[in-house]
Structure 1
Amino acid sequence: MTVPYKTCLLIDDNYIDNFVTRRILEASHFAEQIIVRQSPAEAINSLRDGVIKPDVIFLDIRMPMMSGFEFLQEYDQLGISKSDIKIFMLSSSLDPVDMRQSESNKYITQFIHKPLTIKALEELSA
């Protein structure tokens, strides 16, 4: 079985959402390695320091201390190559402003509603 991605970074403050999403990612063999960060600031530091070099990032919007959009502002300032990294906004938000902001962000590949499903992953990998 071919694994679409080498390293997947999941950024979400909710432990249960991370648990469920990670299990779905593992069950679908989406990536060789799945790394979870509950803090966007911790994820930024890991990316800046080169500790994590993801091919794909799943990013929540609504998180305390730093939102997904604030993460993207920090991400934009990182001196790392971003051309090979796909970012999927994974959120339960139904706010049309969030969706428009996701669609207009140059780093967001696609907005996906929680919960993540195997069907949604299959469509991403196709």
Structure 2
Amino acid sequence: MTNKITDIPFYKYLIILVDDDRLSNLLNKKIIDKNFPNQKVLDFIFPKKALTFILDYITEKEGLLIFLDLNMPLISGWEFLKILNKKKQYFKSFHIYILSSSINHIDKKKAMKYSFVKGFISKPLTNEEVREIQNKLLIQPLSR
């Protein structure tokens, strides 16, 4: 039996960080690891590699929790969202949180139009935000 919320996994979610900034990925991964040391976290600095992995990874067993930067070269976060939107029916469950340095309200409104985008967080990720996301996922039923 678990006594602390930090002992409860994200319902077998695989956490993926997608940001072309290595330092941001490193810091965000440390925040997640600190709060949930047994959680599996992958980070990608190349969005195309992240997309390839995610599309190859499609599974019925595990959900995906993706932290996505918007401003990246080659494939922007916007293009990333469009591609995943076309494939969303194949995933058991996935949630995306935009993790961006942008504070543009238009970006936030645009991102939230995607049903699987669950929030818009200004960099850097904090301990409180990670715990808040986990609480939301514990309350939410797993769904497409």
When the two structures are superposed, what TM-score results if normalisation uses the length of structure 2? 0.78
Cα distance change on mapping 1:76 and 1:30 into 2, 3 Å: farther
**Are 1:33 and 2:62 matched, yes or no?**
no
Cα distance change on mapping 1:21 and 1:117 into 2, 3 Å: same
Number of aligned residue pairs: 126
Quote the residue 1:119 is aligned against: 128
Q: 1:109 aligns with which of 114, 118, 142?
A: 118
Deviations 1:41-72 (A, max 9, x none): 11111122228865211001110111111101
Name the CA distance, whole Å, in 2 between partners of 1:5 and 1:12: 24
Retained in 1: the 8 A contact 2:47–2:80?
yes
Q: 2:25 aligns with which of 14, 18, 24?
A: 18
Greater share of residues in helix:
2
**Root-mean-square deviation over aligned CA pairs:** 2.1
Percent identical among aligned pairs is 27
Cα distance, 1:26 vs. partner? 0.2
Cα distance, 1:30 vs. partner? 7.1
Quote the residue 2:99 is aligned against: 90
